[in-house]
A and B are shown apart, each in its own frame.
Chain A
């Protein structure tokens, strides 16, 4: 059963866990950092201003 308020908390916590792993030094999360860097370069930002473009 999914309550939207609970889902908000759960997704927030999950995001924070992922963030924590990305910031944890060591080889265990090197592959995650590599994948993150790959995707960030492609789709990590949205540019807004002077005509919005992704």
Chain B
């Protein structure tokens, strides 16, 4: 298997089958499994996660893993740029094409959450919106990170 296919191994592949002889794993493969493990406590086809009928939890940690994923993919897409350039370039190329404002807002969320586990930003109002009233605990699944970029 070439390096590209190895790196993008679907998370549902058994770790023992994915692992190379030198005991190495793709960072992205591990990250994709971690995101699901945080959010739904198991690993299934990514297309089915949104409608997964079980509990969803660890929303903040799950969001942080996803934001790390953007950092990781941005690093591979644009290795020589600044952290911000790598992050926003991946967002505007593959996540929200040509939406520089969305990229800037997402980067603000990334900085606030990853650096201080908070939502403090000097220029944007970031807040949490809880819109799943029947979820258990204080981290319901549909926590929405509201970044005012529009």
Contact = CB atoms under 8 A, between A and B. Distances in A.
Of the four ranges (under 10, 10 to 19, 20 to 34, 35 or more), the interface on chain A belongs to 35 or more
Nearest to A42: B79
B4 A19 contact: yes
Given A2-B147, A17-B94, A19-B4, A7 B63 contact: yes
A44 B2 CA distance: 12
B79 A49 contact: no
A54 to B, nearest CB: 8
Q: Chain A: interface secondary structure? A: helix
A4 B59 contact: yes
A39 B79 contact: yes
A2 B109 contact: yes
A38 to B, nearest CB: 6
Interface residues of B, number: 50
B123 interface: no
A6 B30 CA distance: 20
A22 B28 contact: no
Given A46-B24, A48-B25, A14 B90 contact: yes
A37 to B, nearest CB: 7
Contact of A18 (B56, B59, B73, B143): B73
Interface of B: 3-5, 7-8, 20, 22-28, 30, 32, 35, 39, 46-47, 49-50, 56, 59, 62-63, 66, 69-70, 73, 75-79, 90-91, 93-96, 106, 109, 129, 141-147
23 contacts: A2-B145, A2-B146, A3-B144, A4-B63, A4-B145, A6-B50, A8-B46, A9-B50, A10-B95, A11-B66, A11-B69, A11-B70, A15-B8, A35-B77, A36-B7, A40-B76, A43-B27, A44-B3, A45-B20, A46-B30, A47-B24, A48-B24, A50-B23
